[in-house]
Structure 1
């Protein structure tokens, strides 16, 4: 089952089905998937909290003061905000590169494990068919 997006990480939580007769290799694959999902959720929650905080600070620091209540500028233009976005991305470039590298390795590991589970299931089917 897939749930609604988390308000901070923007990721949808996944609840994996646990079969009654789940074999140990299938359980290990499911647990690894859950661990990768949790790692990803933790990263994006932390990253997005930082982004939201820094964006608020940037807006507050770059809005001109209101001369009279309600007449001042309330938001920044897209061009003005692009300065923040570029600065934030440049500042976090190494973090994103590290995240992407780790994300790829974790997913390659999951694909390899999924193949192991598939081969196990094929062997089980072949053994049950031959009996």
Structure 2
């Protein structure tokens, strides 16, 4: 018992000796499926990023580094805050796009299916019902294929945009880490 307690406390002791900054991990939550779209909503744990204070260079430099960085210049790189905000908004927009598409598609599908079933005579057998639904399903797939292909192309484009934006964000964070942004010395 004592050895297991020692094993558990050893990583904590090493962590505190090294002065490692550990941040809380984000935990996104997945909700129950929507009754119409059948998609499970994701509740993201990362709040909108707070505006960052002007970073101060860590290293002493013979020239003023702020002299050459003008945020109003159109060619300036977006800040980490801007990239985080763009990434969060893109994820939310993609989720809303998916939800809207599948809600509309499923409502139209169920409505058309109900119309087919109501058009059958009351004396129809289960085999007649299955045959009518088989024809309906085939017709639905043929009718919706172009719309589905447009959706899939747009969905893939949005996902690639998200991957590229996430890579840009991580690169900006890495670049800021190595450039010394956020330190408290100036001159």
**Quick one: which of 12, 19, 35 aligns to 2:93?**
35
With normalisation by structure 1, the TM-score equals 0.82
- Structure with higher Rg: it is 2
Tell me, what secondary structure is at the counterpart of 1:65? coil
Conserved 8 A contact 2:113-2:136: yes
**Quick one: which of 85, 98, 106 aligns to 2:150?**
98
Q: 1:125 to 1:19 in 2, by over 3 A?
A: farther
Q: Point out where structure 2 has 5 or more consecutive residues left out of the alignment.
A: 1-28, 52-80
Q: 1:19 to 1:93 in 2, by over 3 A?
A: closer
> 1:55 is matched with which residue?
113
**Quick one: which of 40, 43, 52 aligns to 1:15?**
43
Shift of 1:6: 0.5
RMSD: 2.2
Shift of 1:118: 1.0
Matched, 1:6 2:63: no
Cα distance in 1, alignment partners of residues 49 and 162 from structure 2: 22
Q: 1:97 to 1:20 in 2, by over 3 A?
A: closer
Shift of 1:19: 5.9
Cα distance in 1, alignment partners of residues 48 and 147 from structure 2: 37
**Structure 1 residue runs of 4 or more that deviate by more than 6 Å after TM superposition:** none
Tell me, what secondary structure is at the counterpart of 2:42? coil
Cα distance in 1, alignment partners of residues 143 and 109 from structure 2: 11
Q: Point out where structure 1 has 5 or more consecutive residues left out of the alignment.
A: 67-71
> 2:60 is matched with which residue?
none
Q: Which has the higher contact order (CA 8 A, sep 6+)?
A: 2
